[in-house]
Amino acid sequence: MPELPEVETVRRGLLPAMEGRRIEKVAVNRPDLRWPFPPDMAERLQGKLIRALRRRSKYILIELESGESLLVHLGMSGRMLVSGAMLGDFVHDHPAPEKHDHVVFDMEGGARVTFNDARRFGAMDLLPTDAQEDHWLLRAIGPEPLGNQFDGDYLVTRLKGRMSPIKTALLDQGIVAGLGNIYVCEVLFRAGINPKRKAAKLSSTRIHSLVPIIRNVLNEAIAAGGSSLRDHRQADGELGYFQHDFKVYGREGQPCVAEGCNAIVSRFVQSGRSTFHCPQCQR
């Protein structure tokens, strides 16, 4: 599932085609994705000016002049691809329709944004813009890791007394928004923290050190266009490239990249997910 960097990469790619532009036409080609689409979705979107594109955790929020926002969740395989608009030095013509093009937005200025989702684990919903944080998918989410509300003191407070492993704690969306399996593995490697270590057993100093590491990993991943392991594509259809910079994720059985370390990256299952770490560097 796309994590914060992948969703932020898509959001930024959509900005030139959507923000400040009017939706001229919407085609909704099926009644549902993971859940049914909201009633009269096409009619409620068509003709509306998009005031802003924002991201909350792993969700894109498209704010409309009507006072509603379209919430978009990419799910496992969802893509939002732009065609017919100038992106950098290239014009991407509209491609032929594909089987899994479920929602198509024709934008003022000639761009087309196509939501394609082969496995249909994505979702869309319409909600009042001024009550976004009350939506059932958003109301329990913690602060954004790149925002001012997320700092060392906050994280120390939230991890106090938690006897779950630190990796499990950082994956808890109620503690911090948008972190997923890939980036938590990479963060803990850089921090030299064993993913099995109980969150409550970490010192305040080590918890404080996690905050800049989390931000650095996320910013590096966003700059690289996210990580493309299977389905992720940027809005222009290009792959992300951060997977080429993984230090531990997906590197089971390979030598640790840390200078002077002779250990081999290992993998074990934690809360139903693969955890990759260096047994020598992370203690």
The answer to whether 79 and 231 have CB atoms below 8 angstroms apart is: yes
C-alpha 86/C-alpha 16 separation (Å) is 9
DSSP 8-state code for residue 53: E
Contacts of 195 (CB under 8 A, 6+ apart): 165, 166, 167, 184, 185, 188, 270, 275, 277, 282
Active-site pick, 3, 6, 68, 186: 3
CA distances from 212 to 2, 99, 191, 216 (A): 22, 43, 10, 6
Q: How many C-beta atoms surround the C-beta of residue 127 within 10 A? A: 19
Is position 108 annotated as part of the catalytic site?
Answer: no
Is position 43 annotated as part of the catalytic site?
Answer: no
Active-site pick, 11, 55, 56, 58: 58
Active-site pick, 65, 273, 279, 283: 273
Residue of 144, 173, 13 whose CA lies nearest to 79: 13
Active-site pick, 2, 5, 145, 165: 2
Is position 31 annotated as part of the catalytic site?
Answer: no
Encoding tokens for residue 28?
Answer: 């909704």
Q: Of all helices (H) and strands (E), which one includes residue 12?
A: helix 4-18
Is position 99 annotated as part of the catalytic site?
Answer: no
List, by residue number, the catalytic residues: 2-3, 58, 273
